[in-house]
Structure 1
Amino acid sequence: MTQSCLNGDAPDVSFVLPVYNKAEALPCFFASLMAQQGDFSREVIFVDDASTDESRAVIEKFASVHDFVRVIANDTNAGPAIRLNQGVEQACGTYLALFDCDELLAPDTISVMLGMAREHGADMVHGKGRKTDALMAQAKADAIGVGVSVAVFEDALERILGRGIVRMTWLVERALFEKAGGCDTDVFIQDESLPLRLSLHARRVVDADMVVTVIPDAGSHLSGNKMQQHHDRFFVYAHFLAAHPELAPDKYRKVFGKCLSAARKAKRDGAPFNTLDLQCRYLAHKIRLGRSDLAELKRFESVFQKLPGIRRPINL
């Protein structure tokens, strides 16, 4: 590993990693990061979100041993969206490597993703995660290798509005992240907002059929809370509509439909929506009747805002 920009050299890749109560998983994750193959320089930025376990001590130990590692310590829990933005503000790599640090990286994850970004002129590259029943210490991530099936999309937003591309398994250009304004800081979890906001400004996205991380049985993920997922998904897309009234009509309808879909799933999982009203609005949207505008979403927004047990960002 070469020196990071802490010592005057801008690295090829900045790993930016929010941390909250992942002390047991962090040594295994960091070992998989240290085992990354390929000729590229890197820095590692851990952003502790006021962990209540030993996470901060673990990452501070990494930083004491390795000069390309730094720790941003916080005394208030604000959520991963805010903390990811905070970390990127201090990053200086050409690319950002954005992963969950309770998973294991395949040993050639970054070299393969970098190769794809450069080959296809893409500023967003996405891989897949694979769940395993193995505990963190026993889990193993195999090399990706060659012969990967790759889909390249010139219309990044169109791809993001499809399915299956919200895992935190991203390599993106830092310039794109900054242009897009990073994650939506009014939503706690960043999984949905980050690719959506990036895609509006991206040149090209690569969606690769490759396992870049293995996801062990290492405790609960924030995104495992289904109602939190529905809540955050609704507001991510509602905020996006509010910020971008200039969207082409077909994309506007798709984003609006994502809001309705989030409400329907929340209803299925116990949210107290009016069943008839929700179903009628959903069917009207499907057959292109009725309005698809923000005013139509207000009835659902108020219910989401009153849901119990939902984590929301704090105002820093």
Structure 2
Amino acid sequence: MRKEPLIPAPDTTRQPLPRVTIVALCYNHAPFLVEALDSILAQTYPNLEVILVDDASTDASRDILERYAAGNPTWKTIFLPENQGNCRAFNQAFRQTEGEFVIDFATDDVLLPERVARQVACFQQLAPDYGVVYSDAELIDEASAHVRYHYRRDARGRLHPRPASGEVFADVLSRYFISTPTMMMRRTVLAQLGGYDEALAYEDFDFWVRAARRCRFYFLDEVTTKKRLHPSSMSRRGYQPNDPFLASTIEVCRKALSLSRTSAERAALAVRLRWELRQAVRWGNLREARELYALLQQTRAVRPLDWALGQYARLRQQ
């Protein structure tokens, strides 16, 4: 196993510093915008490009964004006339980015002051084939109160297991473990992927799969970001009847199957498909369950319960 490098404290006195673009995506985040935008202003890293994107908010978000843009003339703004969703809204901004590194920043979250500096310091110590640096996050509620941290630790603060670094393709196939808001991405990786897939309802799983096939990921064992939890978040709505996210998950699993090269990678994908199949049957998404079962068959890892669920979905849908 390749040993991961130790990352020293950042040195922002060295020149030239690579530029970092923060794409700040907003949709009806008015109650949280001031805290989010102030956290950009609080960054200790000096070489930032900031692009504010409002995805046709219906609350007071645009007024707040315009006020901050007026006070920070170098910040760019994009005000979309119709709601386009995260993937399309992000891509509109990404096509204008100039930074060597990019942060996809939802404006209900909060960046800690050293966030950008610490992640740039990581990239400066890593090999060029590292395309993503991610970290731990503090989860907060809608009143900004602490809930917990993204990763569980023992009494000594150690992670069990430690999040994957290096070649993480099989890891991202089998389970969710990356805190999406903590990622800093190399712009060239995003460009090679063509940005986010605009045909999908959400972006992170697809990005992890396609990016991990091209580059290595690094886990920075620090808290760099506060991620806000909402009662109506996607994860709480998931798997309800007619859930648009499930169709996107299936499409990403199809991509993952085509990108898998080894039996170990197909086995990792089977773990994901097996879990998704159970959820689809549980919530009555029988057509989607049949699609998931068909993909699971292609991994050659069908178990007796998988077969039973596949037959149940087929018979109940007839």
Which TM bucket (shorter chain)? 0.7 to 0.9
* Alignment-derived partner of residue 251 in structure 1: 265
- 1:55 corresponds, among 49, 53, 61, to 61
* Alignment-derived partner of residue 102 in structure 2: 96
Greater alpha carbon shift after TM alignment, 90-99 vs 54-63: 54-63
Alignment of 1:1-316 (within 5 A): 12-38=19-45, 40-121=46-127, 122-133=130-141, 135-136=143-144, 153-163=165-175, 164-165=177-178, 167-202=180-215, 204-216=216-228, 220-227=232-239, 228=243, 229-241=245-257, 244=258, 247-255=261-269, 257-272=271-286, 288=301
Following TM superposition, by how much is the alpha carbon of 1:61 offset from its aligned partner in structure 2, in angstroms? 1.7
Distance 1:176 1:135 in 2: 35
1:211 partner SS: strand
Distance 2:221 2:238 in 1: 25
Aligned residues: 276
Following TM superposition, by how much is the alpha carbon of 1:76 offset from its aligned partner in structure 2, in angstroms? 1.6
- Contact kept in structure 2, 1:14 and 1:92, CA below 8 Å: yes
Distance 1:220 1:11 in 2: 37
Identical residues among aligned pairs (%): 22
2:49 partner SS: strand
Following TM superposition, by how much is the alpha carbon of 1:235 offset from its aligned partner in structure 2, in angstroms? 2.3
- Give the direction of change, closer, same or farther, for the CA distance of 1:83–1:252 in structure 2 (3 Å limit): farther
Following TM superposition, by how much is the alpha carbon of 1:54 offset from its aligned partner in structure 2, in angstroms? 1.7
Following TM superposition, by how much is the alpha carbon of 1:199 offset from its aligned partner in structure 2, in angstroms? 1.6
2:88 partner SS: helix
Map Cα deviations across residues 42-74 of structure 1 (whole Å, 9 max, x no partner). 011122211111212221221111122111111
- Give the direction of change, closer, same or farther, for the CA distance of 1:255–1:246 in structure 2 (3 Å limit): closer
- Give the direction of change, closer, same or farther, for the CA distance of 1:46–1:141 in structure 2 (3 Å limit): farther
Distance 1:225 1:218 in 2: 11
TM-score, normalised on structure 1? 0.73
Map Cα deviations across residues 140-191 of structure 1 (whole Å, 9 max, x no partner). 999xxxx998867332423432431152321011111101222121111112
Alpha-carbon RMSD across the aligned residues, in angstroms, is: 3.7
2:36 partner SS: helix
Structure 1: 5+ residue runs without aligned partners?
A: 1-8, 291-296, 304-316
What residue identity is the alignment partner of 2:221? D
